[in-house]
Amino acid sequence: MKTSQRNAQTKPHSSTLPSFHHSRTSTLPSFQHSRRTPLWVLVLGLVAVMAVDCAAQKKKPSLTYIGYVYPAGGQQGTTFPIRVGGQKLTGVYGAVISGEGAHARVIESRIKLSSQDTKLLKEQLKKLKEKSPENDEVAQRIKLRINTVMGSYVQKPANESLSTIVLLEVTLDNNAAPGAREIRIMTSKGLSNPLAFYVGQLPEVSRKPMKTSKVQTLGKEHLALRKRPEDEVEQQITLPCTLNGQVASGELNRYRFNAKKGQKLVISTLARQLVPYIADAVPGWFQPILTLRNANGKEVAFNDDYRFKPDPTILYKVEETGDYILTINDSIYRGREDFVYRITIGETPFITGIFPLGGKERSPANTKIQGWNLQRTRLSIPSKDAQTGVHLIAANRADILSNVVPFSIDSLPERLEQEKNTPQSVTLPIIINGRSDFINDLDVYKFKALAGKVIVAEVYARRLDSPLDSILRLTDSGGTLLAFNDDHSDPASGLNTHHADSYLMARIPADGTYFIHLSDTSRRGGDAYAYRLRISEPIPDFELRTVPSRLNFKSKSGASVDVFVIRKDGYEGPIQLRLKDAPEGFLSKKVSLPAGEEKVRFNVKTTLKELEAPVALQIEGYVKIGNRKVSHLAVPSEDWMQAFLWRHLVPAEELLAQVYNPSLLPQSERIRPELPAFAEEITNKNYKERTPTQKKNSGSITKLGRLYDEWLITEDFYLKKVEEFKDFK
């Protein structure tokens, strides 16, 4: 998770990697305003980006997309309905949730209606009301279906990419492991992108799901607002529990509960972590704020960000017994069906900090934790066999897990900072576990180095959930500044948009003693302001990301992903890529990612006709760097856009492959009646004598068949409407 920096005395410029801001050249430029950059240059650049992006989109296959899941989780041992909104969700036949003990079943896939479809359904409903007897079960079923579908129909949705709805039923086993999962939809076009889905441990409370939001017209925004019944605005709850809701435009959701004096309440939110980026909104995600008031309306607690994270958390010790009201809303009162949240509230364990933030591989970790309600808890640290890298750990109290925090494992020697007023001597290479303990704290480390040696200093703090915003300085024994860095972009750091960790690489000018100075940008400090500081010679390395996180194959065909490289400590050499331990039926040739390049296409073929469920694939990169053999598995990722322009690679759990055969997908339970000869002829794709009018009518007849399959029109109505196309040539 370290990226190279060619000029250690300057901050890295904006990234052109479509994933993050980063110091290498790329094919998808992004921009950062500069006082020296004329506005017309920025405008032309933006137009160029849009043109390049549009051209790229034309070449890429259309991908099935899901934009929200509601509710985005449930309690162990329960069965409940969920609603998924997205785009291109045609031929939905299943859903998959990662991990064991979670099962999903499709209840209904609501087709997207055109204005012509709604006209037909209104006509059909009118006829059914006029003629259908009460004992006609088919007619009554169709009436119910039309009313249900039309009741949720929005002619002009606020966002087309959320307007196709799939209803699922999810069952979570009693022993399903709690925590974050991923959910995807399986369709006749392949597998969708993943979204977060949580297995909870507390009772769940879910508000009624929103209908698709209407587009707002300037000056008439009130016409598009949700008309929520008054009794749904405030909801009575019992602690502890997890709350599920969606925030509509201009809306506040309130929850009333009783609490006793002395209770230490933890009120934590998942929102940005459910839907990481919203492309057409600034700042690019749902920004919830929490307000807690007592029964008299007095505000007793408030939070809009927990430290540097946009999802708020309130830690409140109840001052007096009575009713309290929790309110959640967007900070600037935006809202839409993808403004989804989960709030957990109760006397649950919550970690506010750990120290140290990591440890050496194959060594016991002596980690101390701080937080709320941690009595009788046990910290689940990684085992001695854990691989180097970042692991998520939590505290467990009577089978109730706390929030998770990152814990880093490395192979270099380690030591703890010793709080002194003089520089602390260290021998390289070293990882120092330290803290900015108080306001204006400055930690200084001195080491000896020979002329010509290249030295790297890198801070891990923000990437390990520490609020520290570091600054690094390298000086010689006379105090001369040799290198400086404040923020350094790390494309591998997930949802982090403030790359506050520092990194510098510099060549030592002469034999002697040198000093690394580490402090917080704002001179803040405290127990939570921990860090891991690596000082060493460069350790050339790399990380890989694949985009997207799924491969969709038609029967016996091929598919591909882009593989991006994140180069570390100056490594610029080539990297060999291969499919590792591929399941039966999948194969690919080895691919070389050339020296100095950051992206290559990786092709995979399958000999399979179909798969009942997706399988995981792994792409491995390997190379020999000096005397070291280095290999890493590529991390599957999805390319998300933030606030109209910025692009990010958001990691996923698995690279899933799905082989689909449209002719073998589950058919409608309703058998269509035989079409008239003229209709059979013009709907036959092999019939080459069709006129343009007949081709158009063929599409209309196909749409009628789709409405019939969905139990939205009767057989008589279907055949009558087909006959209307008979005389069109």
Edge-first strand order for the sheet with 599-606 is 586-587, 599-606, 558-568, 541-547, 635-642, 646-651
Residue 391: pLDDT over 90: yes
Per-residue pLDDT, 36: 38
Per-residue pLDDT, 62: 63
Per-residue pLDDT, 442: 95
How many Cα atoms within 13 Å fall on the side-chain side of residue 291? 13
Residue 556: pLDDT over 50: yes
Distance CA 350, CA 690 (A): 68
Which residue did the predictor score with more confidence, 638 or 14? 638
Residue range 542-650 forms a domain whose CATH class is mainly beta
**Domain 350-410, second-level architecture:** Sandwich (2.60)
Per-residue pLDDT, 17: 41
Find the mean pLDDT for residues 215-244. Answer: 90
Find the mean pLDDT for residues 332-350. Answer: 97
For the ranges 73-77, 344-348, 691-695, the lowest mean pLDDT is seen at 691-695
Residue 642: pLDDT over 70: yes
Per-residue pLDDT, 664: 66
Distance CA 20, CA 13 (A): 11
| Whole-Å CA distances, 242 to 201, 346, 429, 539 | 9, 9, 46, 45
Residue 20: pLDDT over 60: no
> DSSP state, 249?
T
Q: 289-303 as b/e, with b when 16 or more CB fall inside 10 Å?
A: bbbbbbeeeeeebeb
How is residue 676 written in tokens?
Answer: 């008239």
Residue 458: pLDDT over 70: yes
- Which one of 5-14, 153-162, 508-517 scores highest in mean pLDDT? 508-517
Please check whether residue 433 is in contact with residue 360, taking contact to mean a CB–CB distance below 8 angstroms.
no
Please check whether residue 118 is in contact with residue 150, taking contact to mean a CB–CB distance below 8 angstroms.
yes
Residue 173: pLDDT over 60: yes
* Mean pLDDT estimate for the chain: 88
Percentage of the chain lying above the pLDDT 70 cut = 91
**In this predicted model, what pLDDT tens digit does every residue of 435-448 receive, in sequence order?**
999 999 999 999 99
Please check whether residue 447 is in contact with residue 427, taking contact to mean a CB–CB distance below 8 angstroms.
yes
Residue 23: pLDDT over 50: no
**Domain 414-537, second-level architecture:** Sandwich (2.60)
Residue 475: pLDDT over 60: yes
Residue 5: pLDDT over 60: no
Domain ranges of the chain: 350-410, 414-537, 542-650, 664-723
How is residue 425 written in tokens?
Answer: 């001597």
Whole-model pTM?
A: 0.88
Find the mean pLDDT for residues 126-145. Answer: 87
Please check whether residue 569 is in contact with residue 505, taking contact to mean a CB–CB distance below 8 angstroms.
yes
Task: Specify the 3-state DSSP secondary structure of 204.
Answer: strand
Distance CA 239, CA 202 (A): 9
Distance CA 696, CA 690 (A): 10
| 414-537 shares its CATH topology with 542-650 | no
